Amino acid sequence: MNLKAGYPFSLIKNGLVSEYPKLEKNIRTDVVIMGGGISGALVAWHLLENNISCIVVDSRSIGLGSTCASTSLLQYEIDTPLHKLTGLIGRKNAARSYALCLEAIDKLVRIASEAGFTDIQRKESLYYAATKKDVTDLQKEFTARKQQGFRVRYLDKKSVFDTTGIDAPAAILSADGAQTDAYMFTHALHRHGIKKGLEVFDRTNITTIDHKTRSVELQAENGFKIKARKLVYATGYEVVKYISQPIVKLKSTYAVISEPVSGGRPFWKNDMLLWNTADPYLYMRTTFDNRIMVGGRDENFTSPKKRDELIPVKTKKLTADILKVFPSIDFIPEFSWTGVFGSTKDGLPFIGPYKKLPNSYFALGFGGNGITFSLVAAEIIADLVSGKRNTDAPIFSFDRQ
């Protein structure tokens, strides 16, 4: 599947930052991770931390799927608000899902430090009402988060403007958020892993997967084979071809990044992450090099051709969206892109074993905060491969449906 199109900013800015070989030998390992983007990289990190030998294999150059198109917001808020998720899966599991994503932000910052990766910054996050009719639900959401101990403040119309300069009827200000560059973070993780014995193979298309009773065997297009005790599917939205049950609805999202903006930082008060209650929601953040990124305007995914044809009109609409919020900002779009993402019925990822494919685990961090879900998946899978019990695994299992 063609997962993205246009000019993803991180790929344009950084290019092909690392070289990895194709698979050109038969190989045995404890675990093979299929997919070398941010999800696969985090799984490899955690397996190595548990002294489990593993390799990574990807059909593309590393990071050139959804990872390079990621806008790389790190938020604990799941696409399904906490007060609504509680009604779907119960208070305990809903609160734990949010708490895991919050913990993931701290862990990602720590992992980045250990890997020598510096492009990750903690940020406050503002979730603001797009219209007056959204205020009631926003108040419910604030109450649900406050009751669970999250560091949030409720802002009325005046407080929103005083805090951010945005004219919105209400907002929730969260103390805990962050942003990064998923593409560059992925390569930093792989470089660190290679020093610890990880092997990473890209441009290696797997054509056959044989799930045996006690092992898995993969064959690449060039005929070379990988034999492993376990297989981790970290292929993101392309996974639909391996799963027989309908687990995800594919959508196309759009993003635009400006030319470097003059006038000095911050471009809005407190330089926080911004997103709203609209469906689909609008989100905005800044970059190290004085640019502003805006995204949203999602569409149901029907085909790459139709998705890609919408880039020019979506660029104009997203530019108009941010200028409506901040009319004084000199936002001149420079790069635009689109990518595929997925949504599930409850907004949660699918993590863990899938009974129809023995000796396999899935790391499927769907939704707007896929990177934090990838961290959660990596921890759960590392535990399961190690034979440890993970009490959070049932929340994200395939059997929950």
The DSSP annotation for 23-35 comes to P-S-EEEEEEEE-
Q: Which two tokens stand for residue 138?
A: 């926003």
Residue-range definition of the domain harbouring residue 149 = 125-175
CB 176 within 8 A of CB 105: yes
For the chain, the average pLDDT equals: 93
Omega of the bond leading into 246 within 30 degrees of 0 (cis) = no
In a domain, 111, yes or no: no
Summarised one tens digit per residue, pLDDT across range 186-199 is: 999 999 999 999 99
Q: Which residue has tokens 């092997």?
A: 199
| Number of folded domains that form the chain | 3
Confidence of residue 247 (pLDDT cuts 50, 70, 90): confident
245 has pLDDT over 80: no
Same domain, residue pair 212 and 286: no
Q: What angle do CA 180, 186, 192 make, to 5 degrees?
A: 115
Query: Any idea which of 82-91, 98-107, 237-246, 255-264 has the lowest mean pLDDT?
Result: 237-246
Higher-pLDDT residue of 400, 57: 57
In a domain, 92, yes or no: no
Express as a percent the part of the chain with pLDDT over 90.
Answer: 79
Q: Which two tokens stand for residue 166?
A: 């945005």
Query: Any idea which of 57-61, 122-126, 163-167, 389-393 has the lowest mean pLDDT?
Result: 163-167
Q: Which two tokens stand for residue 372?
A: 């934090």
Confidence of residue 370 (pLDDT cuts 50, 70, 90): confident
Domain boundary among 325, 341, 357: 341
Same domain, residue pair 166 and 192: no
Distance CA 282, CA 266 (A): 19
Q: Which residues pair with 250 in a beta bridge?
A: 342
Same domain, residue pair 284 and 329: yes
Same domain, residue pair 317 and 393: no
The DSSP annotation for 338-401 comes to EEEEEE-SSS--EEEE-TTSTTEEEEE--STTHHHHHHHHHHHHHHHHTT---TTGGGG-GGG-
Q: Which two tokens stand for residue 72?
A: 């790389």
Summarised one tens digit per residue, pLDDT across range 311-355 is: 999 999 999 999 999 998 999 999 999 988 778 889 899 999 998
Tell me how long the chain is: 401
**Any idea of the CA torsion for 239, 371, 10, 313, to the nearest 10 degrees?**
70
Same domain, residue pair 259 and 242: no
Give the DSSP H or E segment for 195: helix 182-195
CB 123 within 8 A of CB 270: no
Domain boundary among 294, 312, 341: 341
Same domain, residue pair 286 and 261: yes
5 has pLDDT over 80: no
Q: Which residues pair with 255 in a beta bridge?
A: 295, 337
* Residue 367: per-residue pLDDT: 66
* Residue 299: per-residue pLDDT: 87
Same domain, residue pair 256 and 243: no
Same domain, residue pair 138 and 64: no
In a domain, 231, yes or no: yes
In a domain, 237, yes or no: yes
